[in-house]
Amino acid sequence: MTEVRRRALLASALGLLTTLLLALGHREVGYVRDEGIYFAASRQYAAWFADVVEDPKAALSKAGRDRRFRVNHEHPALLKSAAGLSAALLAKPPAPGTEEEDLVDDGGALPVMTEGAAMRLPAQILAGVTVALLFAIASATGGVWAGLLAAGAFGLLPHVAFHAGLHCFDVPVATAILAVVLAYRRAQRSRGWGIGVGVVLGLAIAVKHNALFLGPLLAMHHFGALAWAKWRDGRVVRPSQWIGLPLVSMAVLGPLVAFALWPWLWADPAGRVLEYVEFHRQHAYYNMEFLGQNYNQPPMPVSYPFVMTWATVPTVVLLLVVAGAIVALRADWGRDRTEVGAGSFTVPLPDGWARHDGALFAMMAAFPLVLIALPSTPIFGGTKHWITAYPFFALLAARAWTELWKRVRGPQWWQPAALVVVLLPGAVSTFDGHPVGMSQYAPLAGGARGGAELGLGRGFWGHAIGSQLGAGGEELEGWLEGRTRLYVHDVHELAVLQYRREGRWPAGVDSTPIARAQAGLIFHELHMATWEFQLWEQFGTAVPVEVITLDGVPLVTVYVGATGR
């Protein structure tokens, strides 16, 4: 077996293992706020594909498209379509009485998992693809141990592992952005990839709007690499190289592919694209706790993404990232005197021309954090909004690792032993924090307890009761002791609906306002303390019947009133 094939098999095994662990482990992770609307949208999107098969003319009409794609039309459709089709193949039928009127709601062709698990599966597969790609790229230049370092430096981050298993877009768009950047690297030296990079960019845009920044960023890198070749290396740069097939492909094919994958846009492309842009320009703000203070409108402190990165990524990994960036940028700085051929429109940076991977990866690692740090950026939901940086963190860390072991002289077992030392803090934090990894913090920050003492957010979205719902919500039902009116606080009504569809919500228990509640859940977020005080007044007690914790830090508190109250 060749070395290339061996690495490919190992990359595939790591990707498969990642997907399997996420699929199994996230059965205990509750449904988060965004997932509720994505579940509803995914059912409608999958129904559209069924409509196309049954009555193509009606389904492809404006009314037919808008009927299905109106739900959550402020986000692109690709991942939700994949989730809906996954459920159409693998989901068990919904519980009786929870079927939706305008859908054929009788489960998938191979009903082997809950609907939510089936809809989460495409995102989990993409997380596995990211791990496989990181291993493949890092091991190609640094060997197997560097590949494992890159894979683990991404996949074993608690906040990455938590978000990677959800039916949300944050890790999938990180996968897509990594794929675009890797395609762009190849496109600088390959006519085929020069066309292909535009297609990959279109797929990325069809996942989430983060990918819209890629065109300007990669164009800036392209121009910088050519300018460096001209003025630093003394190369002749033709006018056609400045235009470059990769840039033309991204500018033309990227939008066309994204448009083709989003049927909501077809009826009124200009108007609906402007509506999409305006929605995100005026995106609703999230309340975020940072160093003991609540922020509900911009600006957030400029330090926010940097402090949160320090607090959620193991320090040893961050040190390797910084070292890797320095090493890679120093390598880019050197003058290239190699005699090579001329570039062209189709091959702007041919073999022998410096590709400046260090600058490329450093730019992609830094940009998401800098963007969130800008005072004008709306307040979004914590670390998930710069997860797109973390694959490039991993590649830079692997670069530092490779350079380090070129200089270390010692027994062969030193390198795997050192790898365990580097990856162990993230691995322990990830498994210790499961299934509430959003509430976990890095060892140097003190873990969950340290994060709470620093006044950092403990979580949001009401996901932290997933493991208590089981097959029929038995544990939650036991806490309620016959009470049927429950204040669910931060659990979204569409998440409750999903639990009901899967038979996981206690029978007869309805969500209700505090004023009518017989029991209540409180998810501990700084800006939501007032609801806990209201429950004390409603029930005449401040003593909970149950507290869900992580390492002693309260995440969810359950209160009940007197019987019959």
Q: Are residues 360 and 490 in the same domain?
A: no
pLDDT, position 376: 82
pTM for this predicted structure: 0.95
Q: Is residue 446 part of a domain?
A: no
CB 554 within 8 A of CB 547: yes
Q: Write out the two tokens for 73.
A: 């039309």
> DSSP letters along 54-113, please?
H-HHHHHSHHHHHHHH-TTTTS-SHHHHHHHHHHHHHBPPPPTT---TTS--S--SS--B
Q: Are residues 252 and 315 in the same domain?
A: yes
pLDDT, position 460: 79
Domain extent, residue 217, equals: 3-24+122-433
pLDDT, position 335: 63
Please give the Cα distance from 479 to 247 (Å, whole number). 59
Residue that the structure tokens 């683990």 belong to = 152
Q: Are residues 116 and 197 in the same domain?
A: no
Condensed to tens digits (0 to 9), the pLDDT of residues 477-513 reads 888 888 999 999 989 999 999 999 999 999 899 999 9
pLDDT, position 564: 47
Q: Are residues 224 and 322 in the same domain?
A: yes
The residue from 409, 433, 457 where one domain ends is 433
Q: Indicate the burial class of 326 (C-beta count within 10 angstroms; 0-12, 13-18, 19 or more).
A: middle
Q: Are residues 102 and 145 in the same domain?
A: no
pLDDT, position 15: 98
Condensed to tens digits (0 to 9), the pLDDT of residues 405-460 reads 988 887 888 999 999 999 999 999 999 999 999 999 999 999 999 999 999 998 87
How many domains, in total, are found in the chain? 3
Q: Is residue 477 part of a domain?
A: yes
pLDDT, position 2: 86
Q: Are residues 73 and 166 in the same domain?
A: no
CB 113 within 8 A of CB 90: yes
Which ranges of the chain have pLDDT less than 70?
Answer: 1, 283-284, 335-339, 563-565
